[in-house]
Structure 1
Amino acid sequence: MFVSPAFAQAAGQTGGIAGGIEAFLPLILIFVVFYFLMIRPQQKRMKQHKEMLGQLRRGDRVVTSGGILGTVNKVVDDKEVVVEIAEGVRVRVLRATIQDIVSKTEPVAAEADKVEGK
């Protein structure tokens, strides 16, 4: 009179491996969207910031991550620079804390060429 449990359970199953891929398809789609909207733009921004810090030189006006404006007085090494924030007030800061270059100076070689050309 009643349907046996074995037949009732077997009717609800779908194709083995294809069913597993279909279950992960929404997760894969979410990861792809997340990559193009969040991860990729952040990597691009980090690359541009690293290039900007690599081109940092003496005389550039910069803004630190703390919001302090100053002029690069000396490039100490790959990690530190000396920034003059007021007349006679120099502070050593990490390159990574420099957020933006407000104004760039011309390279020293270009200035020497201008003087010789006069």
Structure 2
Amino acid sequence: MPLATYLPFVLMFLIFYFIIIRPQSTQRKKHEEQLANLKQGDKVLTRGGIYGTIIGFQGKNNNRVTIDAGSGTKFNVDRSYVVGLEDSKIEVK
């Protein structure tokens, strides 16, 4: 009967995997792909809640994004601080 004692744990792990781990993994991959495909002129939302337009890239591997937030306000952020495109459905948890 050792299989019967481990069966609830195995079932709990499978439920946990399919409800939490797998969807989170696919969402992370989608976000990484979106960050890799950023280009000049894209309208984005930063993690700080600022909307702006990408006007350029700097740094090694173009990891620094220059964003124009309007009225001549320009700032640099790390690429990882871009949450997503302004017109896409953005889900932050």
User: TM > 0.5 between the two?
Assistant: yes
Aligned residues: 86
Query: What is the distance in 2 between the residues matched to 1:34 and 1:78?
Result: 37
**Which residue of structure 2 lines up, in the alignment, with residue 96 of structure 1?**
80
Percent identity over the alignment is: 34
Alignment of 1:37-76 (within 5 A): 37-76=19-58
Between Structure 1 and Structure 2, the one with more strand by share is 2
Select the residue among 84, 91, 96 that pairs with 2:68.
Answer: 84
- How far has the Cα of 1:88 moved from its partner? 2.2
Separation (CA, whole Å) in 1 of partners of 2:84 and 2:10: 36
TM-score normalised according to structure 1 size: 0.67
- TM-superposed CA distance for 1:87, in Å, is 2.7
Higher helix share: 1
2:15 is matched with which residue: 22, 30, 33?
33
Gapped runs of 5+ residues in structure 2?
88-93
- Shifted more, 25-34 versus 87-96: the winner is 87-96
Runs of 4+ in 1 over 2 A off after TM superposition: none
> Could you list the runs of 5+ residues in structure 1 that have no partner in the other structure?
1-18, 104-118
Secondary structure of 2:74's counterpart equals strand
| Offset of residue 79 of structure 1 | 2.2
Tell me which structure has the larger Cα radius of gyration. 1
Distance 1:88 1:50 in 2: 29
- Considering only aligned residues, what root-mean-square deviation do their CA atoms show, in Å? 1.6
Higher relative contact order (CA 8 A, sep 6+): 2
Aligned amino acid, residue 100 of structure 1: G
Q: C-alpha displacement at 1:41, in angstroms? A: 0.3
